[in-house]
Amino acid sequence: MSSYIKQLTCVMLALSITALTGCGSDDDGNVATESPVWCKAPETLTEDGTACEFIPQQCNYPEVPDPDAAGICIMDTNAWIDGSNGITMPAPSYIAGPGELVVYYQIDDASIDLSAWGIHHWNNADCSSWADFGADEGTAWGVPTTPDGVDENFGAYWILNIIDAPNCVNFIPYDNDSLQTQDIIYDISTPEQNPTGNLYVLDLVADDAFADFIIPHPRTFPSLVVPGGASLTCTAPEVLNEAGDACIADPTVLETFVPAETTLHLRGGFNDWSAEEGSDYQFDYNDGVFTLVAAIPASVDAYEFKVADLNWSEPTSFAAMETEGDVALGEAKTLMVGEGEGENLKITVTADANYQFTFDANDPENPTLTVIEVTYDGVMYVKGSMNDWSNTTPMTYEGDSIYSFVMALDVTEVDAPYEFKIADSNWTEATNFGAAVGEEALVVAEAKTLVFGEGIAQNITLEIATAANYKFTLDATDPAAPVVTVENAIPYGNVDLLLKGSMSEWGGVSDGYTFSYADNHYTLYAVIAAGEHEFKIADADWTATSDIAGVDAESADVIIGEALTLAVKSTTGENANLKMDVAADGFLMFDLDASNKVSPVLTVSEFTPYQARTMYLKGDMNGWGTDEAYAFTYDLGVYTLETEIVAGTYSFKIADADWSGDSTIGPVTSGDVVNTLGDVLTAGLAEDTGDQGNLSITVDTTATLVFTVNAITPDMPELTVSVK
């Protein structure tokens, strides 16, 4: 039986020491103190603080004070007081006669048909009161005694025979399938225990296999509700409804993990596993990524923690895989979902510092956690007129006290520059950085030292002449006076870089020799003829800021497959032509890593598109299977297949054996795309375009067709189908 325990208040007297001056002391000058009075619950201190007293707990019917535990309220098991709480108790269908015990069983799920239930009852060495069985006898499990009826108020009931001098009874109501109560043992040896001959079992949760309340007087579920607080208990994840008379699904618990709709907290040894809205341990969220920074003191023992919401909801509680709880600084760890599953994460902190926790939920089923040490004790943002002064994307901590942030900026109007500051999400005084008074203007590509503090740090102003992505860099080597720089995020600005040399006749914009750009990398795929080549990488106008070549003549030899650090002419004043010996005609990839734009790194390597996999024609002409008769041949970036096709219309794609996303070629736009014989069609890869449908070809008469895929630009291959 569950009980509703009222809150108790235990008051302890604070020890008061009387000061020497103005307070009494003994003749020897010693301070006179009074012995404190300590009260043990449920007693409390009297108003004058000199003694303990017990004030009986006030209980709301149907709860009454527990005679065996002062200060606790328990459910009354006597007959219902008619009219209490507006309830008149109905009469049961059957009252036990001499030699009978009637068991009523009710469950709080109206959808369950109790007429199909039965009762398993038996005698054993401890309880032997059933008259129909001998010692250690009873019903067989699966062959229960069927109900004698179903009362609309009290449920199914069984009229059972008992001996003249009973002790106790064993019984289990169950549905002979999946639902049952616990093993109920009830003492019926005295009139106090068995005043009516009837037992009323109220099972509060249908699937909990637990009889929550048993009483020898008629009672219904509504009669268990306590005004101002309920004795009705619910088993998680259910909770009481607002009226306190039924169990419902907890409306605050999330059923699925939707990152954009979830607030997560860091919960562990850092903060006694607690979580509060707006606390320092609540993550900021943006675009699938949760971020927080916490100041954590060094500890000999590892801190244990998890990532979870306020309610420890099952879909939004994240822990470590079994035996994989240790978190290493700077290393991403994949977490598993489920409260109670997995094990606590553990991190050892050897120095008092600020630590950034980044929880990447872009793959909600396989989120990752990365912890790094950072300079400031909050997540830092660029906040200004370009983003409504909001906490949008956090700055990225690159290490060595460097923070960065990239965003698109439009050209500003005359006398209307952008205004911004760099601050944490709460505009904390010590991390609210701006310009000194009179020094508000920031020029692109020039550094400015910032000051902090409300009223001291002024808005920084920034004029933009060319629309582009701009990188904001905050150098916090001196945390109290960080330096900000804003420059074009593309390392060499809004210009196209070209491979200019003997292979391209040192010309301007040459077909096939223009680099593509993404994430600080300039990439070019090109067929290079055998021979010795000299070249540079530059824009069409040979601008010094994007004239890239060897540091000097001795450091200008490009070896295929090896990285080489280059120099930019505007930085070094001069540079030397690069030299490369190509033994045989080859399809090469030129990768210029400009993460450090002053000293970019070039790697030239032999390249075969689509991970060097065998590519196949797959479609209606061959049942969409992987058929070796439809395998392409490959040479220098071009795939070719000759095959006879019977007249008709065919849908198809070109893919590797496993339909890999980076090796499946189809239409760029949605819907089937017709490839007209002889025309060149630009296609795309499934990993970039998704499943946009199929390619299609119509053949009027049976013919040998040549399928050609020019993969010089691998992610935008050109497809031609022609008649041989």
Q: DSSP label at 320?
A: B
Asked whether the beta carbons of 375 and 401 are under 8 A apart, the reply is yes
Residue pLDDT, tens place only, 111-154: 889 999 999 999 999 999 999 999 999 999 989 999 999 999 99
Mean pLDDT of 83-102: 95
Contact in structure between 203 and 210 (CB atoms under 8 Å): yes
Q: Which residue has the tokens 């549905």?
A: 175
| Percent residues over pLDDT 70 in the chain | 86
| 465 neighbors 411 (Cβ within 8 angstroms) | yes
Lowest mean per-residue pLDDT among 160-169, 211-220, 642-651: 211-220
pLDDT of residue 208: 52
**Residue 452 pLDDT > 90, yes or no?**
yes
* Nearest residue to 450 (alpha-carbon basis) of 470, 465, 430: 430
d(CA 350, CA 296): 10
> How many Cβ atoms sit within 10 Å of the Cβ of residue 419?
18
Q: In percent, how much of the chain has pLDDT > 90?
A: 67
Residue 678's φ and ψ, nearest 5 degrees, are 90, -15
Contact 509, 540 (CB under 8 A): yes
Residue 713, burial from CB neighbour count under 10 angstroms (0-12, 13-18, 19+): middle
419/424 Cα distance (integer angstroms): 17
If you search the block for the tokens 């965003």, which residue do you land on? 407
User: CATH number of the domain at 259-374, out of 3.40.50.150, 2.60.40.10, 2.40.50.140, 2.60.120.10?
Assistant: 2.60.40.10
Residue 639 clears pLDDT 70, i.e. is over it: yes
Q: Could you say which DSSP state residue 139 is in?
A: P
pLDDT of 20 higher than 90 = no
As a 3-state breakdown, the chain gives helix, strand, coil percent values, each rounded to 5, of 5, 40, 55
Q: Give the best-scoring range by mean pLDDT among 88-97, 204-213, 330-339.
A: 88-97
Q: How confident is the model at residue 563 (pLDDT cuts 50, 70, 90)?
A: very high
Average of per-residue pLDDT across 596-606: 94
pLDDT in tens, 640-692: 999 999 999 999 999 999 999 999 999 988 766 777 888 999 999 998 887 77
Which amino acid would we find at residue 604?
Answer: V
How many helices (H) and strands (E) the chain has is answered by 2, 56
Mean pLDDT of 204-226: 78
Model confidence at 25: pLDDT above 50: no
CB 237 within 8 A of CB 171: no
For 498-606, the fitting CATH number among 3.40.50, 1.20.120, 2.60.40, 1.10.1660 is 2.60.40
417 preceded by a cis bond (ω within 30 of 0): no
Q: Do domains 259-374 and 611-723 have the same CATH topology?
A: yes
Could you tell me the sign of the dihedral formed by the alpha carbons of 69, 70, 74, 78, in that order? positive
* pLDDT for 16: 33
Please give the pLDDT value at position 256.
85
Widest CA span of the chain, in angstroms?
126
Least confident of 229-233, 372-376, 617-621: 229-233
Q: Which helix (H) or strand (E) holds 589?
A: strand 586-593
Separation between Cα atoms, residue 376 and residue 452, nearest integer Å: 13
CB neighbours (10 Å) of residue 255? 11
Q: What mean pLDDT do residues 386-403 have?
A: 93
Q: State how far the Cα of 106 lies from the Cα of 124, in Å rounded to an integer.
A: 26
Give the span between the Cα atoms of 149 and 708, in whole angstroms.
81
Residue type, 283: F
The secondary structure element, H or E, covering residue 582 is strand 578-582
Mean pLDDT of 432-447: 96
Q: Are 378 and 426 in contact (CB under 8 A)?
A: yes
Number of residues in the chain: 724
Question: Which DSSP letter does residue 140 get?
Answer: P
User: What backbone phi and psi angles, to 5 degrees, belong to 358?
Assistant: -115, 115
Q: Convert the pLDDT of each residue in 292-314 to its tens digit.
A: 999 999 988 999 999 999 988 88
pLDDT the model gives residue 163: 96
Print burial letters for 585-613: b (CB count within 10 Å at least 16), e (below 16).
Answer: ebbbbbbbbbeebeebebbbeebebbeeb
Q: Cα(536)–Cα(514) distance, rounded to whole angstroms?
A: 12
407 strand-pairing partners: 470
How does pLDDT run across 43-70, given as a tens digit for each residue? 556 666 667 665 555 688 898 887 876 6
Q: Is the distance from CB of 704 to CB of 721 less than 8 angstroms? A: no
Quick one: DSSP state of residue 680? E
CB contact at 8 A, 395 and 381: yes
Q: How confident is the model at residue 197 (pLDDT cuts 50, 70, 90)?
A: very high
Give the residues across from 285 on adjacent strands.
290
Q: Please determine, for residue 568, whether its predicted confidence score (pLDDT) is greater than 90.
A: yes
* Cα dist from 458 to 408, 430, 436, whole Å: 23, 14, 6
Query: b/e for 300-321, b at 16 or more Cβ within 10 A?
Result: eebbbbbbbbbebbbbbbbbbe
What are the structural domain ranges in the chain?
A: 1-76, 77-251, 259-374, 390-488, 498-606, 611-723
Q: Please report the pLDDT score of residue 451 as a whole number.
A: 97
- Whether 400 has a pLDDT exceeding 50, the answer reads yes
Both tokens of residue 688? 């970039």
Name the residue with tokens 């003997």. 502
Residue-averaged pLDDT of the chain = 87
Instruction: Look at 121-135, 192-206, 499-513, 578-592 and tell me which has the smallest mean pLDDT.
Output: 499-513
Residues 613-631, mean pLDDT to the nearest whole number? 95
pTM, rounded to two decimals: 0.54
Cα distance between residue 496 and residue 516, in whole Å = 8
- Three-state DSSP state, 327: coil
What dotted CATH number matches 77-251? 2.60.40.1110
Residue 570: pLDDT over 80: yes
Give yes or no for a contact between 414 and 423, defined as CB atoms under 8 angstroms apart: no
Tokens of residue 508, six digits: 């301007």
Q: Using pLDDT thresholds of 50, 70 and 90, give the confidence band for residue 255.
A: confident
Predicted pLDDT of residue 64: 86
484 falls in which pLDDT band (50, 70, 90)?
A: very high
Rg of the chain taking only CA atoms, in angstroms: 40
- pLDDT at position 673 is 76
Give the per-residue pLDDT at 671. Answer: 67
Distance CA 404, CA 448 (A): 15
d(CA 367, CA 304): 18
pLDDT in tens, 524-547: 999 999 999 999 999 999 999 999
DSSP code string of 417-481: -EEEEEEETT--GGGEEEBPTT--EE-TT-EEE-EESTTTSBPEEE--SS-EEEEEEEE-SSTTS
Using DSSP bridges, classify how beta strands 380-384 and 460-462 pair: parallel, antiparallel or unpaired.
unpaired
Phi, psi of 41 (to 5 degrees): -55, 140
Give yes or no for a contact between 625 and 618, defined as CB atoms under 8 angstroms apart: yes
Task: Provide the pLDDT for residue 380.
Answer: 97
The span from the CA of 23 to the CA of 321, in Å, is 63
Neighbours of 211 (CB within 10 A): 22
CA count, 13 A, side-chain hemisphere, 121: 27
Residues facing 692 on adjacent strands? none
- Of 173, 152, 153, 166, nearest to 101 by C-alpha is 166
Are 267 and 275 in contact by the 8 Å Cβ rule? The answer is yes
280 CB burial (10 A radius; 0-12, 13-18, 19+): middle
Characterise 49 by phi-psi region: left (phi > 0), alpha (psi -120 to 50), beta (else): left
> Does 611-723 carry CATH code 2.60.40.3620?
yes
> Is residue 599 helix, strand or coil?
coil
Q: Is 553 helix (H, G, I), strand (E, B) or coil?
A: helix
The CB-side HSE value for 381 (13 A sphere, CA atoms) comes to 23
pLDDT at 5 over 80: no
- Assess contact for 423 and 458: CB atoms under 8 A: no
In degrees and rounded to multiples of 5, residue 122 shows phi and psi of -160, 160
